[in-house]
Amino acid sequence: MFDALTDRLGGIFDGLTGRGALSEKDVTSALREIRVALLEADVALPVVKDFIGKIKERAVGEEVIRSVKPGQQVIKIVHDGLVDMLGGENAETGLRVDNPPSVIMMAGLQGSGKTTTTAKIAKRLAERDKKKVLLASLDVRRPAAMEQLAILAKQVGGSVTSLPIVEGQMPAEIARRALQAAKLGGHDVVFLDTAGRTSIDEQMMAEAAEIAKIAQPKETLLVADALTGQDAVETARRFHERLPLTGLVLTRMDGDGRGGAALSMRAVTGLPIKFLGTGEKLDGLDAFEAKRVAGRILGQGDIVSLVEKAGDQLDAEKAERMAKKMRKGEFDLNDLADQLKQMQKMGGLGGIMGMLPGAKKAKQALAAANMDDSVLKRQEAIISSMTKKERAKPALLNASRRKRIAAGAGVDVQEVNKVLKMHRQMADMMKKLGKGGMKGMMNALGGAGVSPADIAKMGKGAALPGGGMPGLGGGMPPGGLPGLGGGKKK
C-alpha cells in the first residue's frame, strides 16, 4: 500500500544523501517535495501541515546543515516525525484482556472485513496468549452473517468456539446470552461482532450504544477499510463521537490504495491503531507498531516482523527434524520443497523483500531479473513431478528421468537442472555445516566467494561479493538470487 509513497520519498532522500553539504534552501526544497508526496498519498491536509511544520523546525538548523552526514540526519528527523504521526513509539497497541471474561466489541461499516477480522484477532489471542475465546455474531440483518462467524470459528479451531445460533433473537438478547455462556464456559475473551451498514445511521448507532451498555466492553474496536482513504478517517471520527472507541483495525492493507488513511487515522481521531489486516486468510493480521511502519515507508525494512512471521509459520516438529538432518549434513529435495513452501507462506519473494532493508532496490533487482513468485511455484512443481525415491536420492536423476520430470512439470529440462544445481549447492553447504559447525559454515560461505570478513561487513550494511545481498545495493548476484536460479526467460 505504501509503495508509491516509498518510491517518492526514496527519490527525494537519494537527492539529499548524495550531497556532502546541505544548504537551508536544499532542505526547504526537499520538505516541499515531501509535502506534495504526502498529499498525493491522500494524507489529510491538516495532518500534512502539522507534520511538515514539526519537521521544518528540526531540519532547518545549524545542527543538520553542518552535521557530518546532513542527508542521513534529515531522514532520521522525517522517520521520527512519521513515528509521532502514527502514534509514537510507546503507544498502547495491545488488547486489555486480563480480567475474564473480557468483552471485545467489534464495530464498523458493512464490507469493511469486520467478521473476518474478529476471527483473525481471536486466532491470535488463542495461539499467542493461550486464551479461550467465544465468538458471538450480533448481526441479525446480513444474510448468513452468523453462519459465517461460526464457520470461521471452526476453521480456527482449538480454544476458539462460536455461540450457538438461536433464530429470532435480537442483538441485545444475543449479547446477554453470550456473556452468560462465557461465564459458564470459562472463556477468557468474548467477541461481540455487531451489525454493519453501508453508511452510518441513527438506528445502527443506537443499537451499538445499547450493546455497549449491556456488555461493558474492555475494548471497542472499529474495523475500517484502508482502501476507502479519507472516508475511513471520517467514518472513524463519526463513530467515535457516538461510541467510545478504544482502537482501530485497518483492513486490506495489502491493497493498491495510497496509504493516506493509515497515516491520517491516528492524528485525526486520536485513537491507537491496534492491528493491520491483509488478505482473507486467518493469519493475515499484523500488530501495529509505529516504528516498524515508518521504517517500511522509508524503505528501511521491517526485519522484526519478518522474523515474527517466520516464527508463526514454523512447524516445531519439522524444524526439529530439519535440525537433526543438518547436524548429519543431510539435505534432500523434500527439504528444499519445504523451504520453498515456507517462503510462499511468508508472502513470497515480494513479501519477504518488502520487509528487508533497501526494499525498493530489492524489488527493482527482482524485476530486472524477471523474477516473481511464479519462480517458487514452478520450482515446487518440478520437485512434485519427481517420485518419492527421486526426491530422497537426487543422484538417481539421469538424463531420461530429467526429461520425464520436465514434461510432467511443463518446463524445459534446463529448469530442472537449475533446481538440481540449487539443491546441490544447498546440500554442500549443509554437509560443511554438519562437519564443522560454525567453522564449517564459514568454509561453505568461503567456497561461495564469501569470507568471514565479508560476513562481518554485512552487519554494517555492506554487500556480498558480486553485489548481492544484503540491501541489494549492487543489483542481483551473478546467476540470480542465491538458490532461485536466474529468473524467467523473457
| Three-state DSSP class for residue 23 | coil
Q: How many CB atoms lie within 10 A of CB 394?
A: 18
Who contacts 318 (Cβ-Cβ below 8 Å, separation ≥6)? Answer: 338
Which residues does the annotation place in the binding site? Answer: 108-115, 193-197, 251-254
- First-residue to last-residue Cα distance in the chain: 28
Cα–Cα distance for residue pair 452/439, rounded to 1 Å: 10
| Three-state DSSP class for residue 273 | strand
Beta strands in 216-264 (DSSP E): 219-225, 247-251
Q: What are phi and psi of 42, to 5 degrees?
A: 70, 30
DSSP H helices, 41-100, are: 45-59, 62-65, 70-85
Which residues does the annotation place in the binding site for GTP? Answer: 108-115, 193-197, 251-254
* Cell triple for 34: 515531501
Query: What Cα–Cα distance (Å) separates residue 423 from each residue in 102, 113, 134, 174, 420?
Result: 50, 41, 46, 57, 5
Q: Classify each residue of 293-313 as buried b or exposed e, where b means 16 or more C-beta atoms within 10 Å of its C-beta.
A: bbbbbbbbbbeebbeebeeee
Q: Residue 18 in contact with residue 75, Cβ under 8 Å?
A: no
Cα–Cα distance for residue pair 384/381, rounded to 1 Å: 5
Cα–Cα distance for residue pair 278/86, rounded to 1 Å: 19
Residue 228 DSSP class: G
Cα–Cα distance for residue pair 274/286, rounded to 1 Å: 9
